[in-house]
Chain A
Amino acid sequence: MVYLLCIALFCVGLYGVVRKRNVIKIIVGLIICEYASNLLFILVGYRMHGRAPVLGPDVSFENMVDPLPQAMVLTTIAIGVATTLLLVALAIRLYEKYGTFDITQIKDLKG
């Protein structure tokens, strides 16, 4: 059930990318897509009433959440920041050249 909600969130992001005309809104849609995948990753590794996965001398392995998805999501967040940064930088330059954020008016390339 929770997984389905993640997919729904992904679809919200996808809708933003496909339907919105504003460059910034498209980027926000992409960010929502990325976060939906991150959330799914975290939920896959989560256990009900689990503990933090810290191993000490007197700690047993029982009932820990899976640490691997958390490590991966950290990486994904870093990548997502880099992607967003690049896209926003491109959006700023696009605004300088075209004077608009409307994707329907940015269409020098056709055919």
Chain B
Amino acid sequence: MSATRLIPLFVAVPLAGVFFILLAGRKIRSFPEAVSILVTLLLFILSIYSLWVAHTRQVLVHFAGGWRPPAGILLVEDGLTAFMLVTVHVVACCIALYSVSYVRKYSSPWKFYALFLMTLSGMNGILVTGDLFNLFVFLEVASLSACALVAFGTERQELEAAFKYGVMNTLGAAFVLLAIAFLYACCSTLNMADMAGIIATKKNSAAIPFAAVLLIMGFGLKAALVPFHAWLPDAHPSAPAPISAMLSGLIIKCLGIYTLFRVLFCVIGVTPEIKSVLLLLGVLSMGVGAFGAVGQTDLKRLFAYSSLSQIGFIVFGIALGTPLGIMGGLLHLFNHSIGKSLLFLTSGSVDYALGTRDMRKMGGLYERMPVTGASGFVGAMSIAGVPPFGGFWSKLLIIFAAVQAGYIGYAVWATLAGVLTLGYLVKAIKQVFFGPLPEACRNVTEVPLPMQFAMGILAILCAGGGLLLVPGLREVFIRHASDILLNGAVYARLVGGS
């Protein structure tokens, strides 16, 4: 079977999983768990294979239903897609494993797994599609099911957060739809490669910059870039822990950052104005997120603000547009996916064991929960950018790239935000895991084995994140992805030519 035929599986397999869970999940015990673990594992293996294929053959194009472009819908898999697919499925595997024990406390876990796989299918759809309207459809699939997952607890706070999230997401989608209407009016095509070719010949149309602004607003709302960030600190802590991990680790990146850079860099083509806007948004997010996180007492809320700040780093790095900046940004995307999912899983474990997320009631948990403590420590150090861990290397690359591109002021600001990150994470970890053990926490025990195992895998990946820069690995993993973003016009040529 040729590798091209495997591309639709990324969307179809999770959807089939949803179907079977809805069919039999209520009747058969532990069937939904088994299905979701199997599906994510299968897709993880497929994504590793696709990474190898993208390395050897650069780009794969599948014509959905056999219809040829520009009329038919394309499924495209290039370096960037393969990189994102691997990131998504590493984390999704661990989350599926972690959920086995965690979700037992809710009344109908099978609905949780169905929604989880639905979100996964939507994200994969966004990553593989080569059609702009198709991208919008998958965007809605993913964000609707994510919104339902935020409300999964159906308590006061969860519902409030889900409502905010739902309204913001729908508004973002409306902006994106408006932008797609304008682009369609200009180009009479929805195929992204085709559109890129047409836009390149029409330089002086006023509708295209307007569409770009609408897209920045729409995708910015999904990625929680700073002026559009208000929903994130509410929605991410309110969701069940595995879903917080997925929201922070994957959804804002697939729905926001990937789409933003795919459309702006590969289709519309980046202009100096767009670039300076993106740089400014990135820098603002870094600062607001870091300052917001300092004063938090709720563990998950602190991590959510930290996500905001790290998203700023990623957008800033990629928007620099230099090879070093893009590589740093993508590597930080990977490291942050792993590290922040790990931190949300550890905070979920603490919540599971103690029943509270208030950091003031914790302390000294390391001696009662060594695995959770150790993995939380590794995750925090990686996000904070302490030398041997993954996050250090990516932040270093981003700051170097900023200096190299001549943005000294932004580089200083990024360094300050990095120091602030170290400050609040060290404070949080010290307050939760070290220091005297309060009387109320004497009888705490370590969380069940699957949860420990999931956190352990992520912690090892976190510690080894810097190894991806080793020559050999770098070529396979990250070079093709950064090449695509570095020279957006390549995309149209590769996809159009095959």
A34 partner, pick from B156, B174, B233, beta carbons under 8 A: B174
Q: Chain B residues near A97 (CB, 8 Å)? A: 155-156, 159
Q: Chain A residues near B144 (CB, 8 Å)? A: 82-83, 86
A44 partner, pick from B137, B181, B295, B301, beta carbons under 8 A: B181
Bound: A93/B154 CA distance, A = 8
Residue from A14, A17, A86 having most chain B Cβ neighbours under 10 A = A86
| B420 contacts the other chain (CB 8 A) | no
| A8 contacts the other chain (CB 8 A) | no
Assess the B301–A23 pair: CB atoms within 8 A. no
Bound: A12/B397 CA distance, A = 45
Bound: A41/B185 CA distance, A = 8
Q: Chain B residues near A30 (CB, 8 Å)? A: 167, 170-171, 174
A109 partner, pick from B157, B166, B188, beta carbons under 8 A: B157
A interface residue count range (under 10 / 10 to 19 / 20 to 34 / 35 or more): 35 or more
Chain A nearest CB, measured from B77 CB (Å): 24
In the complex, number of A-B residue pairs with CB atoms less than 8 Å apart? 93
Chain B nearest CB, measured from A34 CB (Å): 6
Assess the A108–B157 pair: CB atoms within 8 A. yes
Number of interface residues of B (CB under 8 A): 36
- Which residue in chain B gives the minimum CB-CB distance to A44? B185
Contact with B along A74-86 (1 / 0, CB 8 A): 0110010011001
- Which residue in chain A gives the minimum CB-CB distance to B154? A93
Q: Chain A residues near B171 (CB, 8 Å)? A: 14, 17, 30, 33
By a beta-carbon cutoff of 8 Å, the part of chain B in contact with chain A is 133, 137, 140, 144, 147-148, 151, 154-157, 159-163, 166-167, 170-171, 173-174, 177-178, 181-182, 184-185, 188, 190, 233-234, 238, 295-296, 301
- Interface pairs (26), CB distance under 8 Å: A14-B171, A26-B167, A40-B181, A44-B181, A44-B184, A44-B185, A66-B188, A68-B190, A72-B133, A79-B137, A82-B140, A83-B140, A83-B166, A83-B170, A86-B144, A86-B147, A86-B166, A90-B166, A93-B151, A94-B160, A98-B156, A106-B163, A108-B157, A109-B160, A109-B161, A111-B295
